[in-house]
Amino acid sequence: MSEIQPTKVIPRLVPAVSGPGTAPVTSLGPIAQPGPATEPGEKPAPSRKPAKPKQPAPPRPDLASTKAGRQMEAYLQHLAVERGMARNTVSAYRRDLLRYAAYLEAAGVGGAEDVHHRHLTGFAQAVREGSDGGSPLSARSAARCIVAVRGLHRFWALEGTTADNPAADLHPPSPGKRLPKAISIAEVTAILESVPTETEAGQRDRALLEFLYATGARISEAIGLDVDDLHLDRPADGPAVVRLFGKGSKERIVPLGSYAAAALESYLVRGRPGLAAKGKGTPALFLNIRGGRLSRQSAWAVLKAAAERAGIDKDVSPHTLRHSFATHLIEGGADVRVVQELLGHASVTTTQVYTLVTADTLREVYAATHPRAIA
Q: Which active-site residues does the annotation give?
A: 218, 247, 319, 322, 345, 354
Distance from first CA to last CA of the chain, Å, rounded?
Answer: 96
Residue 305, classified by CB atoms within 10 Å of its CB into exposed (0-12), middle (13-18) or buried (19+), is middle
- What distance in Å separates the CA atoms of residue 131 and residue 154, rounded to the nearest whole number? 26
- H or E element that contains 252: strand 251-256
Cβ atoms of 319 and 218 closer than 8 Å: yes
- H or E element that contains 243: strand 240-245
- What distance in Å separates the CA atoms of residue 302 and residue 342, rounded to the nearest whole number? 24
What is the total residue count of the chain?
375
Give 254's strand partners. 242
How does DSSP classify residue 80?
Answer: I
Contacts of 155 (CB under 8 A, 6+ apart): 74, 75, 78, 161
The CA–CA distances, whole Å, from 188 to 39, 204, 246, 286, 320 equal 23, 17, 24, 21, 10
- Residue 41 sits at the vertex; the CA angle it makes with 296 and 202, to the nearest 5 degrees, is 85
HSE of 56, CA atoms in CB hemisphere, 13 A: 2
